[in-house]
Amino acid sequence: MKRPFEIVEHTADVGIVAYGRDVAELFANAALALFSLITDVGTIEQKLQLNVEISGEDTDSLLVEWLNELIYTFDVKRMVFGRFDISEMAGNRLEAVCYGEKIDPSKHRLKLGVKAATYHMLQLDRNGDGYRARVILDV
Amino acid sequence: MTAWQGQLIRVDDYRWKIPETYKSGMRVPGMIYASREMLEAMREDQTPEQVANVAFLPGIVGHSLAMPDIHWGYGFPIGGVAAMDVSKGVVSPGGVGYDINCGVRLLRTDLSEDEVRPRISQLVNGLFSDIPSGLGSEGKIRVGRKEMNDLMVEGARWAIRRGLGFEDDLEVTEENGCMRGADPGKISDRAAKRGLPQAGTLGSGNHFLEIQAVKEIFEPGAAAVMGIKGVGQILVLIHTGSRGFGHQVCTDHLRAMEQAVSRYGIKLPDRQLACAPIESPEGRDYLAAMACAANYAWANRQCIAHWVRECFARVLGKGPEKLGMKQVYDVAHNIAKIEEHVVAGRKVKVCVHRKGATRAFPPGHRDTPGCYSSIGQPVLVPGDMGRCSFIAVGTEKAMEETFGSTCHGAGRMLSRGAAKRSIKGGRVVQELERRGITVKAENIHSLAEEASQAYKDVTEIIEVVHRAGISRKVAMTVPLGIVKG
């Protein structure tokens, strides 16, 4: 498979393009892309875990919800994550375990404040033998 | 991406029309305020397509409008204005944006550039340490959940009740710093949780505090009414909004509307334009929640203005009254408001969406504060951090053509990444210092994203709105000291 994700640019915002062999991997890679914008994911240790359970109208909006859930956790609980295990992916429901830690300013350099995942130019398609998704983020 | 190829019909030197026939589904034509030179960049950026997309929204009247600082946004362009008939139109959270009531507040002083220059480092450092800023910054005021409800309903007055500011600040704040109809019951727990720790913080990104000096006065009469007496006078500009709170409100209600769109049989060219009838439960809920976020932003700017006054008083050893630190005005530039306008010769109640656009009401309008009734509502137009900013006033022409709206700023030209690649944060500081501008930022690396080169020249923008007659420029200011999040 190619790189798990890419960062794309937009005049006022930033977008992510994530890839995955299946939808679960696609979602995990999109989350990794999100945190790679916020800080250097290499500096995130897996000290804490967070269980996430969400649902959406369809798979596209589930992806936006998923990223917004993580942005909310980052903003309110001051946590960053570097690993995501999608344990269940059925219909428009998702269950995941996210591994990470509380932000430590001495270790994590915060690069960008991501404030929301948008529906703008949202794309989620089959791509060869896997999946590809694009999400524009409000920063 | 190839440049936008659609038709732009020249109306005059500053008005360009996208005919309704451009795309099937447009209910009204588009109208872009721009000089010929600006059009090419707009075509490159695809923004006319977004102007055309907004024209799809049910109940839109007049034109789908674009100010000269327009640039690509999600769904709605930034710099867009759209008015929907309240009785049959929709409200769209994307037409307001995530940072609900992001806006600017201008304070004046009786100080001169000569008095402030020698103390500029102290002032900038003082502001930087007194006012929480930066990514994830937390406020120095503690707001509990119950108090948060009062804040959402009362807006700027909430801060004044706590001793943060003066009663007469309210008179010169749009909506008197308190939008009616705010209902904390329409706010999710998550939004409240995101909002609590961030009340009274500047934030990051393009938000800033700027100590400015008046550089040029175009209309001395109008300037004098605002207390702007001469070149060299020191002003302070505050630019911030509703922080994570507004973002969560927008996210929550976009989700609700995303689900409602098909139920109301609305067809949209872009999901981010999700909307619901103004008179529907989803529409009313959004407007009640949006008012909470707008009030949060006004309370936020009120707190910050107070700390700016305190900082000046401490550094200069004189009280804010002695320093003449009165508020000139405070405007929102991301908001939707129910207003009365004349459409095709008939008075109509409309919901005006201003996303990256400023209200610009004329002299004598009932919502123009009494003290400005002879000159029109002040319009504050910040430029990028290296160049200049403008103070303007609203006009009758704006009422006739743009639902009393005008531009809001410089408008981004380069993406953040492109700006970072072309210039380093450290270089930005050196370059500004060379030009006599002191800057202090929480994150030096992100400064490059906000460098002058990343923005359009605000001088060209103000020229267009001035010549088109939708506002009149009154004064120009230049920065001496800047605090960035």
Residue A26, C-beta contacts closer than 8 angstroms, at least 6 positions apart = A18, A19, A20, A63, A124, A130, A131, A132, A133
Res B420: pLDDT: 83
Mean pLDDT computed over B62-83: 95
AA letter at B242: S
Burial (CB count within 10 angstroms: exposed 0-12, middle 13-18, buried 19+), residue A10? buried
Which residues, in sequence order, are bridge partners of residue B210?
Answer: B237, B482
AA letter at A16: I
Active site residue B408: yes
Chain A interface disruption, residue of B74, B76, B135, B198, most A CBs within 10 A = B74
Mean pLDDT, chain B, as a whole number? 95
Distances (CA, A) of B305 to B165, B235, B301, B439: 7, 12, 6, 19
- B255: contact with A, CB 8 A cutoff: yes
Cα(B276)–Cα(B265) distance, rounded to whole angstroms?
A: 10
Q: What is the 3-state secondary structure (H, E, C) of B202-245?
A: CCCCCCEEEEEEEEEECCHHHHHHCCCCCCCEEEEEEEECCHHH
Chain A interface disruption, residue of B47, B252, B384, B416, most A CBs within 10 A = B416
Q: Which residues of chain A neighbour B255 with C-beta distances below 8 Å?
A: 61, 65
| Lowest mean pLDDT, pick from B80-94, B173-187, B253-267 | B253-267
- Is the pLDDT at B307 greater than 80? The verdict is yes
- Is the pLDDT at A48 greater than 60? The verdict is yes
- Is the pLDDT at B61 greater than 70? The verdict is yes
- A14: contact with B, CB 8 A cutoff: yes
The beta-carbon neighbor of A113 closest among B72, B204, B259 is: B204
User: Chain B: nearest CA to A135, how far in angstroms?
Assistant: 11
Do B74 and A14 count as a contact with CB atoms less than 8 A apart? no
- B53: contact with A, CB 8 A cutoff: no
- B318: contact with A, CB 8 A cutoff: no
Cα(A7)–Cα(B415) distance, rounded to whole angstroms?
A: 12
- A79: contact with B, CB 8 A cutoff: no
Confidence of residue B247 (pLDDT cuts 50, 70, 90): very high
Cα(A6)–Cα(A24) distance, rounded to whole angstroms?
A: 17
User: Chain A: nearest CA to B41, how far in angstroms?
Assistant: 12
| Lowest mean pLDDT, pick from A37-41, A89-93, B222-226 | A89-93
Which helix (H) or strand (E) covers residue B194, if one does? helix B189-195
- B71: contact with A, CB 8 A cutoff: yes
Can you say whether the dihedral through the CA atoms of B277, B282, B284, B288 is positive or negative?
negative
Do B244 and A14 count as a contact with CB atoms less than 8 A apart? no
Chain A interface disruption, residue of B251, B257, B275, B334, most A CBs within 10 A = B251
- Is the pLDDT at B271 greater than 60? The verdict is yes
Residue of B nearest to A10 (CA): B415
The beta-carbon neighbor of A119 closest among B73, B254, B415 is: B254
Segments making up each domain of chain A, as ranges: 5-138
Q: Are B425 and B467 in contact (CB under 8 A)?
A: no
Do B270 and A75 count as a contact with CB atoms less than 8 A apart? no
Nearest to B247 by CA among A79, A72, A123, A57: A72
Do A118 and B190 count as a contact with CB atoms less than 8 A apart? no
The CATH number that domain A5-138 falls under is 3.55.10.10
Res B359: pLDDT: 98
Pull the structure tokens for residue A136. 């524009």
Residue A22, C-beta contacts closer than 8 angstroms, at least 6 positions apart = A89, A130, A131
User: Chain B: nearest CA to A10, how far in angstroms?
Assistant: 6
Res B192: pLDDT: 96
Residue of B nearest to A76 (CA): B194
Give the CA count within 13 Å in the CB-facing half-sphere of B353: 40
Res B363: pLDDT: 98
Position with higher pLDDT, A43 vs B442: A43
Mean pLDDT computed over B353-376: 98
- A104: contact with B, CB 8 A cutoff: no
User: Chain A: nearest CA to B248, how far in angstroms?
Assistant: 8
Q: Are B60 and B29 in contact (CB under 8 A)?
A: no
Q: Which residues of chain B neighbour A7 with C-beta distances below 8 Å?
A: 417
Pull the structure tokens for residue B373. 């009734």
Mean pLDDT, chain A, as a whole number? 93
Res A2: pLDDT: 66
The beta-carbon neighbor of A139 closest among B45, B205, B272 is: B205
Mean pLDDT computed over B257-271: 93
Do A113 and B190 count as a contact with CB atoms less than 8 A apart? no
What percentage of chain A reaches a pLDDT higher than 70?
98
Q: Give the model confidence (pLDDT) of B181-212 as tens digits.
A: 999 999 999 999 999 999 999 988 889 999 99
Nearest to B137 by CA among B211, B205, B188, B236: B205
